[in-house]
Chains A and B, each alone.
Chain A
Amino acid sequence: MIKIYVPRDSSAKAVGADEVAAAIAAEAAAQKISVQIVRNSSRGMAWLETFVEVETPNGRMGYGPIEVGDVKRLFAAKFYEGGNDQLGHGLVDELPYLKNQERLTFARAGITDPVSLGDYVAHGGFEGLKKALAMTGAAIVAEVTESGLRGRGGAGFPTGIKWKTVHDAKADQKYVCCNADEGDSGTFADRMVMEGDPFMLIEGMTIAGIASGATKGFIYIRSEYPDAIATMKEAIGIAVEAKWLGQNIQSTDHCFDLEVRRGAGAYICGEETAMLESLEGKRGMVRAKPPIPALVGLFGKPTIINNVLSFAAVPYILSNGATAYKNYGMGRSRGTLPFQLAGNIKQGGLVEKAFGITLRTLINDFGGGTFTGRKVRAVQVGGPLGSYLPDSQLDLPMDYETFAANAAMVGHGGLVVFDDSVDMAAQARFAMEFCAIESCGKCTPCRIGSTRGAETIDKIVAGVDRDANLLLLEDLCQTMTDGSLCAMGGLTPMPVMSAVKHFPEDFDRPMMQAAE
């Protein structure tokens, strides 16, 4: 039986993977060739989707991007035996894009069937949890602290310290919440974990439960990710069935229940306290801190809140040891970060590398430059609240501290590339506009500042009292930075002011153009 892999990741389905899988099945049946089609996760090479792989004695051979119209030709080329085709890429393991990565979290990406427990276990799955089940909570917390893991959602807070706070808190009930409200444009690593390796997230959260003494967990997934929601729910069912979740996990005294909750299209619910409100069935309004959620979190109880990628890093740390993880990275940014190359880029996708890699390496060596072939003009790093960086800053190493020192942030590791056709004043305006649309409305600088900011940028672009309005914009941004309750209002000035600073020419144009 020939094994053919067709990804089920939504980045593949969105370009016709289901149809390609059906066409391969139909053609194989017509030619009486016995094939088994496995719907695997994605390798994270978005430009090659639908990326079809065939198992051969030498390893897997890859073909892409495959469309339904290519299938007959693939069969003529005997691709099912690894035959050559114009869309063939040879052995998948030898592709430089994959070979040059350091995939710890995404070690199984593209290799396994996401909802096959057998595949997961055969590829190192649940090794971390097995170790955790025999450890004390304090020992697990110590291991995670030692690894240097920091919150992958963007804030970069040391995960071990957060876990210790919850571990040390006394309460009749504690919770573990996974923030899977991955709303930042240019990011999709959380989605790929949930659609492609859901047991890894389950494993990481269960370890967090054992570490802190929490017996109940929630995964808050944005409604824009229907496939991730379905896959996570399916995987939870399978894990419960196999006693990796629920009561008496693997016949130990440990219990951990997990539930998926859907978001409803509010970006602000990616802010941890707004997410807690939403999980409680309320409007996603940001809470003032303190008290911190680690002490007064979901339903007022001590709660671990981490991003998908933070939890997903934990099984590796437990199974291979803190040192193995810590050996990657630079400075105080330890381990790897799954970078996401997005926007106007030729070879977009997921690149997991140790901290310290430069933007230029990511964009040129992995990404192959812009999709349009034009010059890179700006790169927005860290989502809609991240700075727009010009060419002169592309040699900065990806590191939390280095970026902070340069008025930028690594965030969730998303890079959105823009070519030289971009209008940076329009991008700055959009940042304000987006904040106005998505602000929860609780604090004034964010709720009103965003609308005033968009208006002020309109005036600047229209040439109305340009210098005075630029000063006003700067002042407004300072107020938003200093006076907002959370990162929504507090960081919106980053894309705005970085655009003003690095691309002043876009804010200074003839009146004519603005009058349209």
Chain B
Amino acid sequence: MAKKTTLIDLQFGKSDPATPFCAKYGNKPDALLEILHDVQNELGHVPETSLPAIAHALNLSRAEVYGVATFYHDFHLKPTGKHHLKLCSAEACQSMGGRGLLAAVEKFLNVKMGGTTADGLVTLEATYCLGLCASAPAMMIDNRPVARVNADKVKSIVEGLRT
């Protein structure tokens, strides 16, 4: 039986996919968030195996990089769905029925907030404000904002992802 691998045990090679992104920002430690964003855009998540490579390139400890990657809601250390559906859960959207909308979306996707659909198509995430508060409720599908949504509209957007 294999021993559980910790961050300290992880080996990394020169060919780690994160290394070029570190180089892009001159291996500067203050660019860590940008690097993590770029890695996630490329790979869909930030693989835990890449954290030591990033730490090495930026001359940070593995703990520091892990700490940053886990502090921010945006970063996923595990693979997620192909698409990200971010439903605004903040007050302005609540005032326009956001809570009911979330319940309906959870029901038809058959996932809870934070979960990924069984087919791996969509990860449902909460977001707190998209700046579309005058056209609530609002959501974002990947990087595309959508406003004045209702359950049917969300459903048809998700159906559209299947094609």
Asked if A185 meets B128 with Cβ closer than 8 Å, knowing A14-B147, A264-B73, the reply is yes
Stretch at the interface among B7-15, B86-94, B101-109: B86-94
> Within 8 Å CB of A188, what residues of B?
131-134
> Does A224 count as interface, using CB distance less than 8 angstroms?
yes
Q: Does A328 contact B (CB under 8 A)?
A: no
Interface string of B138-152 (1 = CB under 8 A from A): 101001111110000
Does B117 touch A at the CB level, under 8 Å?
Answer: no
Task: Please name all residues of chain A whose beta carbon is closer than 8 Å to the beta carbon of B144 when the two chains form the complex.
Answer: 13
CB of B160 within 8 Å of the partner chain: no
B131 touches A182 (CB 8 A): yes
Cα–Cα, bound, A283→B77 (Å):
16
Interface residues of A in 262-284 (CB under 8 A from B): 262-267, 278-284
How distant is the Cα of A482 from the Cα of B136 in the complex, in angstroms?
A: 34
The answer, among B30, B129, B133, for a CB contact under 8 Å with A348, is: B133
One digit per residue, 1 when the CB lies within 8 angstroms of any chain A CB and 0 when it does not, for chain B 14-34 equals 000000000000001111111
Contact among A263, A348, A426, A430 for B134, CB-based, below 8 A? A348
What distance in Å separates the Cβ of A438 from its nearest Cβ neighbour in chain B? 7
B95 interface residue, CB < 8 Å from A? yes
Give chain B nearest CB distance to A433 CB in angstroms: 10
- Taking the complex as formed, is A340 at the interface, i.e. its CB lies under 8 A from any CB of chain B? yes
Determine how close the nearest CB of chain A comes to the CB of B111; give it in whole angstroms: 19
- Complex interface: stretch among A114-122, A204-212, A357-365, A414-422: A414-422
- Tell me which residues across on chain B come within 8 A of A354, comparing CB atoms: none
Within 8 Å by CB of A416, from B32, B37, B91, B128, lies B91
Given contacts A283-B67, A284-B71, A345-B134, contact A223 B37 (CB under 8 A): yes
Residues of A close to B37: CB separation below 8 A: 223, 262, 264
Contact B90 A384 (CB under 8 A): yes
| B133 and A266 contacting across the interface, CB-CB below 8 Å | no
* A203 contacts the other chain (CB 8 A): no
With beta carbons under 8 angstroms apart, the residue of A279, A348, A426 that contacts B135 is A348
Flag whether B74 is at the interface (Cβ < 8 A): yes
| B92–A282 touching, CB < 8 Å | no
Size category of the binding interface on chain B: 35 or more
B30 near A14: Cβ-Cβ < 8 Å? no
Contact present for B132 and A14 (CB under 8 Å): yes
Residues of A within 8 A of B90 (CB): 185, 384, 434
Contact B128 A278 (CB under 8 A): no
Interface: A476 (CB within 8 A): no
Residue pair B92, A283 in contact (C-beta under 8 Å): no
**A411 beta carbon closer than 8 Å to chain B:** no
Question: Do A281 and B33 touch (CB < 8 A)?
Answer: yes
Residue of A nearest to B133 (CB): A342
B91 to chain A: which residues have CB within 8 Å? Answer: 185-186, 343, 380, 384, 416, 427, 430
Interface residue A164 (Cβ < 8 Å from any Cβ of B): no
> Does A349 reach chain B (CB closer than 8 Å)?
yes
A183 interface contact, C-beta 8 A: yes
Task: Please name all residues of chain A whose beta carbon is closer than 8 Å to the beta carbon of B129 when the two chains form the complex.
Answer: 182-187, 224
Write the A430-473 contact mask toward B (1 if CB under 8 angstroms, else 0): 10001001100000000000000000000000000000000000
- B71 near A343 (CB under 8 angstroms)? no
Q: Which residues of A contact B131 (CB under 8 A)?
A: 10-11, 182, 187-188, 190-191, 224-225
Cβ of B51 within 8 Å of any chain A Cβ, yes or no, is no
CB atoms of B133 and A414 under 8 A apart: yes
- Chain A, Cβ-Cβ closest to B139: A14
Q: How far is the CA of A371 from the CA of B133 in the complex (A)?
A: 13
**Chain B residues within 8 Å of A282, by CB:** 32, 64, 68
**List of A residues within 8 angstroms of B147 by Cβ:** 11, 14-15
Closest chain B residue to A367 by CB distance?
B134
Across the interface, B30 reaches (CB within 8 A) one of A187, A190, A281, A437, namely A281
* B73→A266 contact, CB < 8 A: yes
| Residue A344, interface by CB 8 Å | yes
A261 within 8 A of B: yes
Return the CB mask of B79-91 against A: 1 if under 8 Å, else 0: 0000000100011
Chain A nearest CB: distance from B95 CB in Å? 4
A503 interface hit (Cβ, 8 Å): no
Residues of A within 8 A of B72 (CB): 263-266, 284
A69 to chain B, nearest CB (A): 15
* Extra pairs beyond A15-B147, A265-B74, A284-B71 (10, CB < 8 Å): A10-B145, A14-B138, A224-B86, A261-B33, A281-B31, A282-B68, A284-B72, A343-B133, A344-B95, A371-B96
What are 24 A-B pairs at a CB distance below 8 A? A13-B145, A14-B132, A15-B148, A183-B128, A183-B129, A185-B93, A185-B133, A186-B91, A186-B92, A188-B132, A224-B127, A227-B145, A263-B33, A264-B33, A278-B33, A281-B31, A281-B68, A283-B67, A283-B68, A299-B30, A342-B92, A344-B96, A416-B95, A430-B91
Write the residues of chain A forming the contact surface with B, with a CB cutoff of 8 angstroms: 10-11, 13-15, 46-47, 49, 182-188, 190-191, 223-227, 261-267, 278-284, 299, 340-345, 348-350, 371, 380, 384, 414, 416-419, 422, 426-427, 430, 434, 437-438
